[in-house]
Amino acid sequence: MIYGRRHDPSAYGSPHSGRQVRVLLAVPFATASLLTLPPAAAQQADGERLFRQRCATCHSVGAGQNKAGPHLSGIIGRPAASVDGAHYSKALKSAGIIWDRQSLDIFLTQPSRLVPGTRMTVRVSDAADRSAIIGYLENQAHN
Ligand code: HEC
């Protein structure tokens, strides 16, 4: 009886307690390593994710691959409505815009405010999300 008690593992705590401590320590370490990503890399990843979620149904970043909307490869520096084979509204064709960070930011906030009559209706209301998406598009210039 006494012999049995001395070797009862519960006297030394649960055999799982060591593992619980390791899991609790791992969470803050994982968070810290995300925060140490260079901001530009983090933003690029964010921009790609947002683009996939909110734009990719209608837009590709591969040159020549038009979907419901024109492809957005090389969009920065390109005149609005200038992709061959894409179907554009009259409104966008006559908008006279050269896409840059600023015009894209205004367009994505509310397309119809910059180009009344455009068929692009998707709005990105969060400024940080717009900036991440535009940053991602800036890097799709050579596809
Ligand atoms: C439901 C489909 C759809 C979605 C989703 C969509 N767009 Fe569009 N987009 C269009 C269409 C259609 C046009 C052409 C509009 C026109 O001709 O008036 C367009 C045009 C554009 C243009 C102008 C392209 C050019 O050649 O001048 C940009 C830039 C653009 N979209 C960016 C985006 C971004 C960034 C997103 C995601 C936040 C997005 N779009 C989401 C359908 C979409």
Q: What is the pLDDT of residue 1?
A: 47
Q: What is the pLDDT of residue 41?
A: 77
CA of 58 to the centre of ligand 1 (A): 7
Q: Which of helix, strand or coil describes residue 98?
A: strand
Average pLDDT on 29-55 reads 77
DSSP code of residue 141: T
Going by alpha carbons, the residue nearest to atom 8 of ligand 1 is 120
Which atom belonging to ligand 1 lies closest to the Cα atom of 57? 5
Quick check: pTM over 0.85?
no
Q: Which residues line ligand 1 (CB under 6 A)?
A: 54-55, 57-59, 68-70, 72, 75, 80-81, 83, 88-89, 91-92, 99, 104, 108, 118-120, 122, 124, 133
Strand partners, 98: 79
Tens digits of residue pLDDT in 68-126:
999 999 999 999 999 999 999 999 999 999 999 999 999 999 999 999 999 999 999 99
Task: Work out the mean pLDDT of the chain and round it to a whole number.
Answer: 83
CATH of 38-138, one of 3.20.20.70, 1.10.760.10, 3.20.20.100, 3.40.50.11890: 1.10.760.10
Burial category of 71 from C-beta neighbours within 10 Å (exposed 0-12, middle 13-18, buried 19 and up) = buried
Going by alpha carbons, the residue nearest to atom 12 of ligand 1 is 69
Which atom belonging to ligand 1 lies closest to the Cα atom of 55? 37
